Amino acid sequence: MSTAAGKGISGEGDVRSWKREPIKPGKSDDQLQALAAERFGLARDAKDRWNLTMTLAAGQAKAKLHEVVRVLRDDPELRFDMLLDLAAIDYLSYPNHRGPRFAVVYLFKSLVFRHRFKLKVEVEEDDAELPSIHDLYRIADWSEREVFDQMGVVFSGHPNLKRILNHHEFIGHPLRKDYPCQKRQKLSINDPMVDQLESRLKHFGYQVVDSGEVHLGAPIAAKHQSVAEQGSVDTQKQKNAAGAVGAGGI
Amino acid sequence: MTFKPVPATVAAVSDSFVPDGVIATSVEAVVNWGRRNSLWPFPFGTACCGIEFMGVVSSVFDISRFGAELVRFSPRQADLLIIAGTITYKQAPVLRRIYDQMCEPKWVISAGACATSGGFYDCYCTVPGIDEIIPVDIYIAGCPPRPEAFLEGLVQLQNKIAREHLKEQKAVGA
Amino acid sequence: MRVLTPEGDHLDFMTLNMGPSHPATHGTLRIFCALDGETMKAAVCEMGYLHRGFEKMVEQGTYSMVLPYTDRLNYCSAMINNIGFCKAVEKMFNVTVPERCITLRVVLIELSRIIDHLVCSCTNLVDLGALTNFWYFFNTREEVYKIWEKLCGQRLTNTVTRIGGMYRDAYPGFEDDVRKVLVKIEAAVAEVRGLIEHNKIFIDRTKDVCVVSAEEAISYGWTGPCLRASGVDRDLRKDEPYYGYETYQFDTVVGETGDTFDRIMIRLYEMLESVSIVRQALDRLKPGPVNAPDARLSLPDRDRVYHDMEALINSFKLIYEGVRPPPGECYDAIEAANGELGFHITSDGGTNPYRIKVRPPCFTQYAAFGPMCEGEMIADAAATLGSINIIAGELDR
Ligand code: SF4
């Protein structure tokens, strides 16, 4: 058995792509740091003491982010061809924090070289907007939706910036530190998603003449009430929840 | 709901008027006997408890010993709704709709801490107990409940069905 | 839904809503598609039906209180999540756990990978109508659960690790039990392979269905078995080895076309590789401590707690406040059953995590699902959804 090369499913051999090659040694964190500082003027983030995180300041993000990410992806020495995840952080209650309230950390990984890169983009509270990179990485489409949903950072140029984890009637952004953990919001009826399907059909060149009807049943709010009246639920609990949500929630 | 005294399930009559092999009983007892021993569950498994329910159906624990192995994924064909897993507010309208689509008579088992009370997810998105949305007959404790607990819950439900009266409409939240 | 095609024809598409309550979507995924006959012309997916606020809940408690929540991310292989999280926090402390703990963790990771693949493969095959495989695999899985029960008293949600070590050492006889189970796993895999590998119906249903090219898979950020099915030989255990994986003899299994067949078969073969890793790890298992001798992480000896004031305070503090990683931000990843499972932990130096972002492997796979099945038959979509193994707990968190 060799550990160097993988075993194909239908027997040994038949290597079809270069990707079967073992991963090549990558750049060290220091090399990457020097490179990022020189090419994009990024500074190393002192908070990450374990790996390399480079910071893109809030003022520069709009102009530079897309270009920086494109170079990270395409540069033959870097080849960060995988966007692993977007992690948004709200520093509202972080002790002794100076600087913008939010940060979005882009986690990159290369499949060619053994190195990783974290790009931290600072985001101001009153201008929480970043350029979308959905055209560079397909996964960015959904990852950006998640950051928008959970943290309220808007991505300009995103084709479909809808909520993804929370329901479409949700108000606010739950992972912000000022969103109370137990503030519940009810949903009356599920998102029909017809608009998404139509835009997808348009993408393939179809023109929607008549979208027809989509049945999702009656909204749930009225039925909630009738169960409550039978006394089988803790009505007070429900009232509290409803009160906390306000007019838009139910 | 109040329960009247339970009639004997099946009472054999050793009377000289009726020939051998004929038994006399109440319609109620026979109907309930049929209902409780042929429950067709609709597993509304959303999370970890749903995986454990799959274990209950598999051959080691074998739910068919209790006559409830015919798992149906259409609410029209099922009479037992087993909610196994966390219900979120996004899921709630779906659950309610599934329940409404089931035909009478129908029963509901809430399996696991999450379905029963929200479990340890006391959060902006989780329903603190499905009885906010639909009525529940049996609650099963556990996170997830052991397969034996599932079966115990099923037996409890069967006992409950045996005590039901045909004349009394089941109180449903419709 | 009436549409005008690019050629100027009028067509009537049927819109179909699959899920969230549908046997193939595990109760939590929703696919909304436009059908032309049986072909899916366009499909959009929705998630979030199991969004239970993991990332908000973990901010409410201490680091140790995060562990039970990690169990419920990927509940088919809870131990990998436990270990992944502990590994990330241990990295923040710069602590290495003792040798025995590492080897035990390797055994548990690989066994968990096996049961995850067992559940994934057999439910996938049930979606295709091959019910027999379900019995074969679930019986084997129950055998593993018997070991889990002896080890920590729980079947599914084990919380078996602690930051800095294990909940406790393995019970006497653990190794024999595992070895016996390994034989059964091999037998079950052989049985299922015998049933499907050359089965014409199975091959017709899965070969060249929903093909994902390597480029697409990478652009979608796929990792793990699904990425390898597309022919990309990348595995964290090989590329960035941890826990001494570089010293084990095993192969990565790589697919050729990236179709549903490859994705299913990869899992079957990977189980056999995992079996071999477990055997090697068991050979190396030597007696020794399982908890790091570090007062910041591990509870002191019970004996000392009763006689030594320092140890008593230490124990008290650890239980009430838990561990306090140094302030900062740290990302650490582990090769879970579905791919790269990462934890991006932000600590403010306090007892509660400031923010934990999970990098769930399923998320990337489900993001690709809609585009993947456009142009395919609706029945194939169900089979494919099983093959990318979406676990909603991890997808929606
Ligand atoms: S009760 Fe526990 S096991 Fe069941 S769904 Fe909830 S968290 Fe999962």
Strand partners, A144: none
> Looking at beta carbons, which residues of chain B come within 8 Å of C52?
47, 86, 88, 114, 121, 123, 125-126
Question: How much is the pLDDT for A15?
Answer: 35
**Ligand 1 pocket list (CB less than 6 A):** B 47-49, 85-86, 112-114, 119, 143-144; C 72, 157
What is the amino acid identity at position C240? E
Q: Count Cα atoms within 13 angstroms, Cβ side, for C139.
A: 14
Is C2 in Cβ contact with A212 (below 8 Å)? yes
C194 has a chain B CB within 8 A of its CB: no
Question: How much is the pLDDT for B4?
Answer: 46
Does the domain formed by A2-156 have CATH 3.30.460.80? yes
Q: Which residue has the tokens 């009153």?
A: A126
Q: C367 with A138: CB under 8 angstroms?
A: yes
Which of C50, C157, C391, C396 has most ligand 1 atoms within 8 Å of CB, for mutation? Answer: C157
Question: How much is the pLDDT for B18?
Answer: 64
State the pLDDT confidence band at B168, using cuts at 50, 70 and 90: low
CA of A234 to the centre of ligand 1 (A): 22
What is the amino acid identity at position A34? A
Please name the residues between 283 and 342 in chain C that touch chain A, using a CB distance below 8 Å: 326-333, 340, 342
Mean pLDDT for C20-35 is 82
pLDDT at A222 over 70: no
What is the amino acid identity at position A149? D
Length in residues, chain C: 397
| Separation in Å, CA of C247 to nearest CA in chain B | 34
**Contacts B–C by Cβ distance under 8 A:** 98
pLDDT at A84 over 50: yes
Question: How much is the pLDDT for B17?
Answer: 61
What is the amino acid identity at position C226? C
Is A6 in Cβ contact with C254 (below 8 Å)? yes
Residue of A146, A149, A186, A240 to mutate, testing the B interface (most B Cβ within 10 Å of its Cβ): A186
Sequence-distant (≥ 6) Cβ neighbours of residue B174 within 8 angstroms: A223, A226, B100
DSSP A81: -
Token pair belonging to C249: 């003899």
- The reply to whether C20 falls in a domain is no
Token pair belonging to C137: 């695999």
> Looking at beta carbons, which residues of chain B come within 8 Å of C122?
none
CA of C156 to the centre of ligand 1 (A): 10
Is B89 in Cβ contact with A185 (below 8 Å)? yes
Mean pLDDT for A233-238 is 38
Range of the domain at C78: 54-395
Chain B positions contacting chain C at CB under 8 Å are: 44-48, 50-52, 54-55, 58-60, 73, 85-86, 88, 90-91, 94-95, 98, 114, 120-126, 143-144, 146
- Assembly ipTM: 0.86
pLDDT at C351 over 60: yes
What is the amino acid identity at position B35? R
| Separation in Å, CA of C265 to nearest CA in chain A | 7
> Which residue's C-alpha comes closest to atom 5 of ligand 1?
B85
pLDDT at A4 over 70: no
Q: How many domains does chain C have?
A: 1
Mean pLDDT of chain C: 86
Digit-coded pLDDT (tens) for C261-303: 888 888 888 888 899 899 999 898 888 888 888 778 888 777 8
Q: Which helix (H) or strand (E) holds B117?
A: helix B112-117
Question: How much is the pLDDT for B170?
Answer: 56
Digit-coded pLDDT (tens) for B48-57: 888 888 888 8
Mean pLDDT for C100-126 is 89
Task: Give ∠ CA C209-C215-C220 in degrees, rounded to 5.
Answer: 85
A70 has a chain C CB within 8 A of its CB: no
Mean pLDDT for A18-22 is 61
| Separation in Å, CA of C249 to nearest CA in chain B | 32
Left, alpha or beta for A103 (phi > 0: left; psi -120 to 50: alpha)?
A: beta
pTM of the predicted model, to two decimals? Answer: 0.85
For C138, list phi and psi in degrees, rounded to 5.
Answer: -70, -35
Residues of chain A with CATH 3.30.460.80: 2-156
| Separation in Å, CA of A66 to nearest CA in chain C | 16
Q: C122 with C136: CB under 8 angstroms?
A: yes
> Which residue's C-alpha comes closest to atom 3 of ligand 1?
B144
> Which residue's C-alpha comes closest to atom 2 of ligand 1?
B143
Mean pLDDT for A221-243 is 38
pLDDT at C326 over 60: yes
Which of B51, B56, B86, B109 has most ligand 1 atoms within 8 Å of CB, for mutation? Answer: B86
Burial string for A230-244 (b: 16+ CB within 10 Å, else e) reads eeebeeeebeebbee
**Contacts A–C by Cβ distance under 8 A:** 219
Residue in B93, B123, B131 nearest the CB of A187: B93
State the pLDDT confidence band at B166, using cuts at 50, 70 and 90: confident
Q: Count Cα atoms within 13 angstroms, Cβ side, for A154.
A: 9
pLDDT at A240 over 60: no
Residue C394 CA to residue C305 CA, distance in Å, equals: 38
Digit-coded pLDDT (tens) for A107-163: 998 888 888 888 888 888 888 888 888 888 888 889 999 999 888 888 888 888 888
Question: How much is the pLDDT for A179?
Answer: 86
Digit-coded pLDDT (tens) for A46-58: 778 888 888 888 8
- The reply to whether C98 falls in a domain is yes
Digit-coded pLDDT (tens) for C70-101: 988 888 888 899 999 999 998 888 888 888 88
Burial string for C64-81 (b: 16+ CB within 10 Å, else e) reads bbbbbbbbbbbbbbbbbb
Residue C281 CA to residue C266 CA, distance in Å, equals: 22
Residue in A190, A217, A238 nearest the CB of B132: A238
Residue of C58, C91, C196, C234 to mutate, testing the A interface (most A Cβ within 10 Å of its Cβ): C234
C134 has a chain B CB within 8 A of its CB: yes
pLDDT at A232 over 80: no
Comparing CA positions, the residue from A243, A224, A103 lying closest to residue A182 is A243
Distances (CA, A) of C280 to A244, B48, C275: 57, 31, 9
Distances (CA, A) of A45 to A37, A118, C153: 12, 10, 43
State which residue of chain B sits closest to A174, comparing Cα positions: B124
Q: B59 with C139: CB under 8 angstroms?
A: yes
Helix (H, G, I), strand (E, B) or coil at B16: coil
Sequence-distant (≥ 6) Cβ neighbours of residue A93 within 8 angstroms: A177
Question: How much is the pLDDT for A20?
Answer: 63
Q: Which helix (H) or strand (E) holds C2?
A: strand C2-4
What whole-number percentage of chain B has pLDDT above 90?
Answer: 6
> Looking at beta carbons, which residues of chain A come within 8 Å of B92?
186-187, 220
Helix (H, G, I), strand (E, B) or coil at A87: strand
Question: How much is the pLDDT for A243?
Answer: 32
Distances (CA, A) of A239 to A188, A224, A243, A246: 16, 11, 6, 11
- The reply to whether C285 falls in a domain is yes
Distances (CA, A) of C339 to A64, A143, C45, C327: 31, 17, 21, 28
The end-to-end CA distance of chain A, in Å, is: 62
pLDDT at C61 over 70: yes
Question: How much is the pLDDT for A249?
Answer: 27
Mean pLDDT for C312-330 is 86
Residue C365 CA to residue C222 CA, distance in Å, equals: 6
DSSP B88: B
C5 has a chain B CB within 8 A of its CB: no
C80 has a chain B CB within 8 A of its CB: no
CATH of the domain at C86: 1.10.645.10
* Cis amide leading into B147 (omega within 30): no
- The reply to whether C124 falls in a domain is yes
Length in residues, chain A: 250
Mean pLDDT for C170-197 is 88
pLDDT at B66 over 60: yes
**Closest atom of ligand 1 relative to the B113 alpha carbon:** 1
Comparing CA positions, the residue from C214, C237, C253, C203 lying closest to residue C368 is C214
Q: Edge-to-edge strands of the sheet including C339-347? A: C328-336, C339-347, C355-359
Kindly list the partner chains of chain C, i.e. chains with 3 or more CB atom pairs below 8 Å.
A, B
- Where is average pLDDT lowest: A32-36, A240-244, C321-325? A240-244
pLDDT at A244 over 50: no
Residue in C57, C233, C344 nearest the CB of A6: C233
Mean pLDDT for A81-107 is 87
Q: C340 with C355: CB under 8 angstroms?
A: no
Residue A97 CA to residue C354 CA, distance in Å, equals: 13
Comparing CA positions, the residue from A139, A137, A159, A140 lying closest to residue A72 is A137
Pairing of strands C30-36, A113-114: unpaired
Q: A45 with A52: CB under 8 angstroms?
A: no
pLDDT at C257 over 60: yes
- The reply to whether C185 falls in a domain is yes
Determine how many CB atoms are found less than 10 A away from the CB of residue C207.
Answer: 13
